[in-house]
Chain A
Amino acid sequence: AQTVTQSQPEMSVQEAETVTLSCTYDTSENNYYLFWYKQPPSRQMILVIRQEAYKQQNATENRFSVNFQKAAKSFSLKISDSQLGDTAMYFCAFMKLEPGKLIFGQGTTLQVKP
């Protein structure tokens, strides 16, 4: 069975600085997707970034980028130029190619301080 682990329950960062959230996963699959979701206080689940395992190039979306290490089964999220609106809980998630079955980590609460 697949598992996803986020070992940092809480993190904080100063506005405009860079922060990295860690995620590791366990799977025997070779092809799969990885995601980072953001959950602000409104509780809405917002897709931040996704990575296909067969792509070696790390995904980037504006200030958000990932460091995908397939052999190490590591998938960290880097947030550059942190903004107050980035304050939220962040979830790492895994999905096999079989659609509709996301497996989530425990979440990391990120606070951006002014």
Chain B
Amino acid sequence: EAQVTQNPRYLITVTGKKLTVTCSQNMNHEYMSWYRQDPGLGLRQIYYSMNVEVTDKGDVPEGYKVSRKEKRNFPLILESPSPNQTSLYFCASSSPRADTQYFGPGTRLTVL
């Protein structure tokens, strides 16, 4: 089954404790992205990757890091989380034709 998976689905952590949210897709897609969803703001892109070892900032990259060492994986790293990073996070992937993005199930992150 074609899918995008994210782990963990729920995470409660404390300020400053490094964390990683994993994202994996099995569709051999070149493009992968991370978004955060906040009430009244919709979804905003954090980072995206056009292929292995190629990443670029989206609209809200501050406080986040990403890496793309393998085509299927695109982890999101918060090296020193802060409460303003409490949000719902989505990973997405798409093919070069790129007219459709496939979304993961979301990760609910709470930073205390």
Contact = CB atoms under 8 A, between A and B. Distances in A.
Instruction: Give chain B's interface secondary structure class.
Output: strand
A106 B41 contact: yes
Interface of B: 31-33, 35, 40-45, 48-50, 58, 88, 90, 92, 94, 96-101, 103, 105-106, 108
A8 B96 CA distance: 33
A4 B43 CA distance: 11
Contacts, number: 61
Nearest to B107: A43
Given A50-B99, A100-B49, 7 more contacts: A44-B103, A47-B100, A93-B43, A103-B45, A104-B43, A106-B40, A106-B42
Contacts of B58: 101
B98 A100 contact: yes
